[in-house]
């Protein structure tokens, strides 16, 4: 079983903008050992925390989150971009470098008191994760933790998530 998950991550310079080095996780997802190791390691961090639901963030978070939920014996709820969910939703806006975006969740996705792990593939500036945390809490869920495969630590996204148990398997301290 692989121990250094960084070896499975591909750097793609210039995507989606020239100054960005994109951390591509598809190379990890396609490798059965890398994928299994990532799911097992994420689930292991929360195996004794009585997780009821894993809130997965669009889109790469769905892949990891569903697998982690299965491993934990939990259900899955999803946070999506606006107008992608079919039933009645609640919405949370968050700031981007230039402007705002939003996430939505079905208003019946979480019952009061359910213990929820928020999970996404990557922590950058923290806006998406914080929006998901707020959706969970507005629906009455208790956020047990916020987990990521990758933390781009140099962007300081953890600062927006102070007070929450934030875990990441891989950390990049510089671009």
State the chain's mean pLDDT as an integer. Answer: 95
The secondary structure of the chain in percent helix, strand, coil, rounded to multiples of 5, reads: 30, 35, 35
Asked about 97 being catalytic, the answer comes back as: yes
pLDDT bin (cut points 50, 70, 90) of residue 99 is confident
Asked about 158 being catalytic, the answer comes back as: no
- Distance, in Å, from the CA atom of 146 to the CA atom of 136, rounded to the nearest integer, reads 11
**Residues 76-85 pLDDT 10s:** 999 999 999 9
* Domains present along the chain, CATH in parentheses: 9-172 (3.40.50.2020)
pLDDT above 90 (res 1): no
Which of 19, 36, 50, 97 is flagged as catalytic? 97
- Distance, in Å, from the CA atom of 133 to the CA atom of 144, rounded to the nearest integer, reads 10
Percent of the chain with pLDDT over 90: 92
- Distance, in Å, from the CA atom of 128 to the CA atom of 143, rounded to the nearest integer, reads 15
Strand bridging mode 142-152 / 166-172? parallel
Over residues 49-57, the mean pLDDT reads 98
Which of 19, 49, 58, 60 is flagged as catalytic? 60
To 5 degrees, how large is the angle CA 127–CA 131–CA 136? 150
**Residues 119-156 pLDDT 10s:** 999 999 999 999 999 999 999 999 999 999 999 999 99
């Amino acid at each position: 079983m692989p121990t250094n998950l960084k070896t499975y991550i591909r750097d793609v310079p210039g995507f989606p903008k020239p100054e960005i080095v994109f951390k591509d996780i598809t190379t990890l997802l396609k490798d059965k050992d890398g994928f299994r190791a990532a799911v097992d390691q994420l689930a292991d961090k929360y195996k004794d925390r009585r997780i009821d639901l894993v809130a997965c963030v669009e889109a790469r978070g769905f892949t990891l989150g569903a697998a982690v939920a299965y491993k934990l014996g939990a259900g899955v709820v999803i946070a999506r971009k606006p107008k992608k969910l079919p039933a009645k939703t609640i919405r949370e806006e968050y700031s981007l470098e230039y402007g705002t975006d939003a996430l939505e969740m079905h208003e019946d996705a979480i019952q009061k008191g359910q213990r929820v792990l928020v999970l996404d593939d990557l922590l950058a500036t923290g806006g998406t994760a914080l929006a998901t945390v707020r959706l969970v809490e507005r629906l009455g869920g208790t956020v047990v933790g916020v987990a990521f495969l990758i933390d781009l630590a140099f962007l300081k996204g953890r600062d927006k998530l102070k007070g929450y148990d934030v875990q990441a398997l891989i950390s990049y301290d510089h671009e």
